[in-house]
Amino acid sequence: MKIIHITRHTAARVILRHKQRHLAVHNAEATVRRIIADVQEAGDSAVRRWTKKLDQVELKSFWVSEEEINRAVKSMPASYSRSLRHAMTNILRFHKAQLRTNRTFTTREGAQLGFRFVPVERVGIYIPGGKAAYPSTVLMNVIPAKVAGVREIIIASPPSSSGSVHPAVLGAAGFLGIRRILRIGGAQAIAALAFGTKTVPKVDVITGPGNIYVATAKKLVFGTVGIDSIAGPSEIAILADASANPTFIAVDLIAQAEHDSSAVAIAVTTSESMANAISREIRKLSKATPRRLAVQQSLSNNGFIVIADSLESAIQFINELAPEHLEVMTKQPERVAERIRNAGAIFIGRYSPVALGDYWAGPNHVLPTNGTARFASPLSVWTFMKMQSVLKFSRTALKGAAHDVTMFALQEGFFAHADSVNIRLKA
């Protein structure tokens, strides 16, 4: 991995160069627009046609059968089922804590004002296929939707060459009681969920990660449906001082890099000797990892070690980078973590690896990427809910508000707005 020296004056330039290299424009939008338009016009036949072209699969049925789901649940090893249940319990507990109650209060004029929270009716959850299976992503998307009270949850996941959805995905979905699973993927799945077809019902919100075509499709259908985010490659930044363990840092960087060759892994330290130790450990450990090709490509293309001239510069760098995952391994990690404004999830101390958050601890692992942690939040119960404002005025309360409302309406030139108040009072 490259080693880069920064000061508080050069941090922004380093981040800009990194993002310009890493976020190179991918020529996906024209293709995705064509797929979306085709699905809007031709519905199911377009979904079948694009699935055959892109996945080399002839779809007879879009829906996974109840028998396939039950078989996947029964085939899970008992030890894995127990781990799945433990993770489910932790994730459920964390997301239940996010719920808030409706509220109503009365103003001194006698008006009743309030707000209430209601779930969306139907959601589509995209679970990637391809190189790996992601049962943890099933849990992280389905559980908050269930906690929110969503009436209907539909999963879409791309088919294998045999036309089946990965049994690990089916098993996790079946374990959570999900029986509506589509064997379609890519931009055609996002378009079908967003606009509806004869077979696929139109949803209100689409969540879940995917490749550049899925991310672009979500971006293009936003407004027709809600989305969680436009997810980019997975990222980690590790902030460490001379007290950290370089082996822990190296293995966590490798763990992030093994996602795929586009993953981003960055270490930020105030110690040159620590930077050199991390580099040595990475060279040693990466040779032994089974996914070493992806790891080596990721670390070579997108990974680097930053040596900051002070802890202040290191913290500034992290806040400007706004990483998806941040690990803090310093002498006083809690105090450092308090100064981090921009990160999707913060893992404090040497015994808090990202893997805990990926699978088991409870907080959601669907996090803002590509610097969007400056303004975006992790997937949560609120992704699947909306807030409604509620107003109830009596005649007396309306009379108390009439003058001020009329003044605003006349100032803005909306005379019927003023009439809508005054006619009621004259009636």
pLDDT score of 14 more than 80: no
CATH architecture of 43-227: 3-Layer(aba) Sandwich (3.40)
Q: What pLDDT shows up at residue 112?
A: 96
- The C-alpha atoms of residue 244 and residue 40 are separated, in whole angstroms, by 54
What is the share, in percent, of the chain residues with pLDDT greater than 70? 96
Q: What pLDDT shows up at residue 1?
A: 81
Tell me the residue type at 338.
Answer: E
Q: What pLDDT shows up at residue 5?
A: 86
On average, the pLDDT of the chain sits at: 93
Please identify every residue annotated as catalytic: 324-325
Q: Do the Cβ atoms of 302 and 22 come closer than 8 Å?
A: yes
pLDDT score of 388 more than 80: yes
Q: What pLDDT shows up at residue 25?
A: 45
- The C-alpha atoms of residue 69 and residue 259 are separated, in whole angstroms, by 26
Q: What residues does CATH 3.40.50.1980 cover in the chain?
A: 2-25+232-374, 43-227
Q: What pLDDT shows up at residue 132?
A: 72
**Residue 24 pLDDT level (bands cut at 50, 70, 90):** very low
Phi, psi of 243 (to 5 degrees): -85, -10
List the one residue out of 261, 265, 259 whose CA is nearest residue 297: 261
pLDDT score of 337 more than 60: yes
- The C-alpha atoms of residue 40 and residue 308 are separated, in whole angstroms, by 51
Q: What pLDDT shows up at residue 19?
A: 64
- CA Rg value for the chain: 25
Q: What is the mean pLDDT of residues 67-94?
A: 96
Which of 200-214, 240-254, 286-300, 327-341 comes out lowest in average pLDDT? Answer: 286-300
Q: Which residue has the higher pLDDT, 26 or 308?
A: 308
Q: What pLDDT shows up at residue 26?
A: 58
Q: What pLDDT shows up at residue 231?
A: 85
pLDDT tens-digit readout, 86-103:
999 999 999 999 999 999
Tokens matching residue 372: 């969007």
Q: What pLDDT shows up at residue 352?
A: 97
pLDDT tens-digit readout, 156-199:
999 998 899 999 999 999 999 999 999 999 999 999 999 999 99
Q: What pLDDT shows up at residue 390?
A: 97
Tell how strand 112-119 and strand 103-106 pair up: antiparallel
List the one residue out of 78, 84, 47 whose CA is nearest residue 173: 84
Q: What is the mean pLDDT of residues 114-143?
A: 93
Q: Do the Cβ atoms of 234 and 264 come closer than 8 Å?
A: yes
Q: Which residue has the higher pLDDT, 349 or 19?
A: 349
Q: Which residue has the higher pLDDT, 305 or 10?
A: 305
Q: Which residue has the tokens 């404002």?
A: 389
Tell how strand 385-392 and strand 112-119 pair up: antiparallel
Would the pTM of this model clear 0.95, i.e. be above it? no
- The C-alpha atoms of residue 100 and residue 102 are separated, in whole angstroms, by 7
Q: What pLDDT shows up at residue 130?
A: 67
pLDDT tens-digit readout, 101-128:
999 999 988 999 999 999 999 999 999 9
The DSSP bridge partners found for residue 304 are 2, 266
- The C-alpha atoms of residue 365 and residue 236 are separated, in whole angstroms, by 12
- The C-alpha atoms of residue 255 and residue 279 are separated, in whole angstroms, by 15
On the CB side of 56, CA atoms within 13 Å amount to 4
Tell me the residue type at 312.
Answer: E
Q: Which residue has the tokens 């949560």?
A: 380
Instruction: Give the CATH number of domain 2-25+232-374.
Output: 3.40.50.1980
What is the share, in percent, of the chain residues with pLDDT greater than 90? 85
Q: What is the mean pLDDT of residues 390-396?
A: 96
Q: What is the DSSP string of 121-147?
A: SEEEEE---TTS--HHHHHHHHHHHHH
Backbone angle region of 204, left / alpha / beta, with phi > 0 → left and psi within -120 to 50 → alpha: alpha
pLDDT score of 134 more than 80: yes
Q: What pLDDT shows up at residue 18?
A: 67
Q: Which long-range contacts link 358-361 to residues 24+ away (Cβ below 8 Å)? A: 358/136, 359/87, 359/136, 360/83, 360/86, 360/87, 360/90, 361/90, 361/94
Helix ranges restricted to H, 196-310:
212-221, 246-257, 272-286, 292-302
pLDDT score of 270 more than 60: yes
